[in-house]
Amino acid sequence: QTRRITAPEIRARKGGEPIVCLTAYDAPMARLLDPHCDLLLVGDSVGMVVHGLDSTIGVTLDMMILHGQAVMRGAKRALVTVDMPFGSYEKSPQQAFENAARILSETGCQAIKIESGTYAAETIDFMAQRSIPVMGHIGLRPQAALADGGFKAKGRTRAERQKVIDEAMATADAGAFAIVVEGVAEDLALEITQRVPVPTIGIGASAACDGQVLVTQDMLGVFEWTPKFVKRYDNQAERTTAAVQRYAEEVRDRSFPATAQVYTMTRQDG
């Protein structure tokens, strides 16, 4: 059995070869991604990407644990980090620790991630002191969409820029081993990456970061939507539509199943 990449190993990659990260929500996809990725993130984006929710607000701890278990069955080598969903960690460091411990023990994953406004520093410190590897997530924080009025890039005003830098410093000082930086301009991503001692993993945050993450279904083109920061490496929506159209036609004209897909008679009666 191959050894899994550890949180300290990811931490030690600061300033080195870029860290390759994608989201995963199920076992077969995790198996395909694992050989190419350093880190697989069981993101709460699963609520939108797989369950059809409009935001990540409705994602539950049980959903995250179920998807975390599936990803752990498929991934052999990458570090698996599971997102803590909205409502499972904000109330107190104790609440966060209890729910993080459930995620770690019930999935076998090696780390958790929380969206880390500056208020979260106490929580990150509490968990890190108690041996839970924590990833932070700053800048555009999808779980803050209600208060922010939607998904909006961050750091466009001087005050907002300082706020994102404060989030980064607080998250790193509190003991996070890596930080997702989402939806910020290149100069801000560069400043944060230069100032924090842990790797920054960017999404919509330029190549200045120490690594990159994308939602796998976005980069595979499963959806028609393409925010600016997504590069489509495939067009699975079109290819799936074409395949299903062909299948439907062949069922209707009875060319599927053909002899190649039909069992031959193995037994004569009488």
Catalytic residue (choose from 9, 98, 106, 182): 182
Number of residues that bind ligand KIV (CB under 6 A): 11
- Kindly give, in sequence order, each residue whose CB lies less than 8 Å from that of residue 201, ignoring residues fewer than 6 positions away: 19, 21, 39, 135, 178, 179, 180, 181, 209, 210, 211, 212, 213
Number of residues that bind Na ion (CB under 5 A): 3
Measured from the CB atom, is 132 or 179 closer to ligand KIV? Answer: 179
User: Annotated catalytic, 191?
Assistant: no
Measured from the CB atom, is 136 or 175 closer to ligand KIV? Answer: 136
* Residue 192 binds to ligand KIV (criterion: CB under 6 A): no
For 3, how many CA atoms within 13 A lie in the half-sphere containing its CB? 4
Binding residues for ligand KIV restricted to 118-137, rule: CB under 6 A: 137
Q: What is the 3-state secondary structure (H, E, C) of 115-160?
A: CCCHHHHHHHHHHHHCCCCEEEEEECCHHHHHHHCCCCCECCCHHH
83 is in an annotated binding site: yes
- Kindly give, in sequence order, each residue whose CB lies less than 8 Å from that of residue 209, ignoring residues fewer than 6 positions away: 18, 181, 189, 193, 199, 200, 201, 202
Indicate the DSSP class of residue 184: B
- Applying CB under 5 A, among 21, 30, 33, 43 the residue interacting with Na ion is 43
Measured from the CB atom, is 7 or 191 closer to Na ion? Answer: 7
Q: Which residues bind Na ion (CB under 5 A)?
A: 43-44, 83
Residue numbering of the annotated binding site: 44-45, 83, 113, 115
Q: Which residues bind ligand KIV (CB under 6 A)?
A: 23, 41, 43-45, 83, 137, 180, 203, 213, 215
Enumerate the active-site residues.
Answer: 182
